[in-house]
Amino acid sequence: MTVIKVAILGFGTVGEGVYRTIESHADDLEAVLGKKVEVAAILIKNKQRERNIRKDVLVTTDFEDILNLPKLDIVIEAIVNKEPTFTFLQKAIERGCHIITANKEMFAHHGKHLIALANEKSVSVGFEATVAGGIPVIQTLRQLLKINRVQQIQGILNGTSNFILTEMREKKWSFAEALLQAQKNGYAEADPTNDVEGFDAFYKAMILSRIAFGEEPNWKDVEREGITPITSELIEAAEKLELRFKHIASISKEGTQIQVTVKPALVGKENPFYHVEGVENAVSVHSDIVGRITLQGPGAGMFPTASAVIEDLAYVCQNNNIKRNFNQTVSAELEQKKGKAKEFWLITGLSKNVIKPSITCIDEISNGVFVIRADKKDLDNLGKLDETISYFPILGEFESEVVSFEEKVSAL
Ligand SMILES: NC(=O)c1ccc[n+]([C@@H]2O[C@H](COP(=O)([O-])OP(=O)(O)OC[C@H]3O[C@@H](n4cnc5c(N)ncnc54)[C@H](OP(=O)(O)O)[C@@H]3O)[C@@H](O)[C@H]2O)c1
């Protein structure tokens, strides 16, 4: 019986989950692939650490040992940072191996190059685990991309930020208190910048953009904002309106232009993201034939992430890469909807002298927190003039009655 030989780079949360899943699902893999899957080697950094790994598996700190294995079909990478992972995966492809990665930071930076190299060498690249952990968003997009045209993807892509926002609302905690709890639960790192400032979600958005539209915007043009400007007061004001803050990555194509934003927004009960709580992730895909599909589930963790990797393993073995022509533009209908003039915003930090006639006051929700209707461009200009102003879009329909600032806000 021929065997599919696998090497796993990294034996942390993801690497160990993948190893244990290959063991526990050996029969299923063999039934689907017609061959046994065997973990031949595991790369780690610290040789002293005790690990529960079978004696016949080579455990090494030297990547060359892995490349020198007499037979190797697939390299699964579950390490951290852009390097040495990128170099390892290039070498694995050069050797003729399929590769699978969970490393979004590396893949956002180097995915394009790895896929091009893999195409040259006629091997496949699996990267399901780089976006939204256990949610099969990449496979869903691959499936949709056969004929549908994806127009927009929105996602809650960072479980740590979503957990903090949920805790702040439910327990009436400050950002600092909720962050501390996230760190105690092991959801946030000692330095949480990557998660709370939106870098992690940004990397995932770039990967989604590339798969949905075949390209990504210039990274400098992407509006990236984390959850740190959201205060308990703003969350309380939003609750009065039955709205919830969510950190949302939005990827769309307008004409030939890719638009990506990664920032907090407010959603009402009718929005599928309203009930996405704690460390859960969700992705909503809008495409021209099927309309809107929303997937929700665990965005991280040992077995959810292993699930994504193991499905990739089956995918790369079947080697069914889809070639898609991305030269279409999105339908006029979506562009018209996008072109709608003014949107609703929750805003704080306004002072009377910056208010313009083009900004309409809808209501004062609590002291200094307003719902307004305005053009994004006007607000961006205000934001440049006065850094104390924070404003967050309210997504979807919003019931409103227009009043004047003078009528509503004598104290302003
Ligand atoms: N955790 C999740 O739920 C999750 C979900 C989706 C994607 N990811 C991504 O998956 C990757 C792995 O995450 P993780 O949570 O499993 O990380 P982790 O628990 O910190 O494990 C990292 C592993 O990589 C090994 N390693 C680090 N640097 C190495 C090097 N230079 N050479 C060889 N081995 C090295 C470590 O070795 P030692 O054990 O010897 O220290 C460790 O086994 C990351 O890129 C992460 O962003 C994680």
Count Cβ atoms below 10 Å from residue 369 Cβ, excluding itself. Answer: 22
Q: For atom 32 of ligand 1, which residue has the closest CA?
A: 45
Identify residue 144 by its one-letter amino acid code: L
Q: How confident is the model at residue 331, as a pLDDT?
A: 53
Same-domain pairing of 52 and 164: no
Domain end residue (candidates: 126, 157, 174): 126
Same-domain pairing of 255 and 167: yes
> CA-CA distance, 298 to 304, in Å (whole number)?
6
Give residue 391 CA to ligand 1 midpoint distance, Å: 36
| Domain-embedded: residue 279 | yes
Q: For atom 47 of ligand 1, which residue has the closest CA?
A: 103
| Domain-embedded: residue 103 | yes
Q: How confident is the model at residue 2, as a pLDDT?
A: 86
Beta strands in 288-342 (DSSP E): 291-298
Residue-wise pLDDT for 210-255, tens only, equals 999 999 999 999 999 999 999 999 999 999 999 999 999 999 998 8
| Domain-embedded: residue 243 | yes
> CA-CA distance, 64 to 88, in Å (whole number)?
9
Give residue 272 CA to ligand 1 midpoint distance, Å: 32
Residue 121 catalytic?
A: no
Same-domain pairing of 264 and 182: yes
Query: 5, 104, 204, 253: which one is catalytic?
Result: 204
Under the banding of pLDDT at 50, 70 and 90, the label for residue 73 is very high
Q: How confident is the model at residue 332, as a pLDDT?
A: 46
> CA-CA distance, 385 to 373, in Å (whole number)?
19
Give residue 11 CA to ligand 1 midpoint distance, Å: 7
Give residue 106 CA to ligand 1 midpoint distance, Å: 12
Q: Residue 335 pLDDT > 50, yes or no?
A: no
Same-domain pairing of 13 and 108: yes
CATH of the domain at 370: 3.30.70
Pocket of ligand 1 (CB under 6 A): 10-15, 43-46, 49, 78-80, 84, 102-104, 129, 133, 300-301, 305
Same-domain pairing of 288 and 201: yes
Span 193-197, average pLDDT = 97
Same-domain pairing of 288 and 158: yes
| Domain-embedded: residue 331 | no
Q: Which atom from ligand 1 is nearest to the alpha carbon of 14? A: 16
Span 35-53, average pLDDT = 96
| Domain-embedded: residue 335 | no
Q: Which atom from ligand 1 is nearest to the alpha carbon of 200? A: 47
> CA-CA distance, 362 to 164, in Å (whole number)?
29
| Domain-embedded: residue 244 | yes
Q: For atom 27 of ligand 1, which residue has the closest CA?
A: 79
Span 18-38, average pLDDT = 96
Same-domain pairing of 29 and 92: yes
Same-domain pairing of 261 and 163: yes
Same-domain pairing of 187 and 118: no
Tokens representing residue 172 in the block: 């009436």
Q: Residue 303 pLDDT > 60, yes or no?
A: yes
Q: Which atom from ligand 1 is nearest to the alpha carbon of 11? A: 43
Residue-wise pLDDT for 353-378, tens only, equals 677 777 888 888 888 898 988 888 88
DSSP annotation of 274 reads: G
Report the domain count for the chain: 3
CATH of the domain at 121: 3.40.50.720
Q: How confident is the model at residue 362, as a pLDDT?
A: 81
Tell me the residue range of the domain where 290 lies.
149-296
What element of type H or E holds 347? strand 343-348
Q: For atom 17 of ligand 1, which residue has the closest CA?
A: 12
Q: How confident is the model at residue 72, as a pLDDT?
A: 97
Q: Residue 15 pLDDT > 80, yes or no?
A: yes
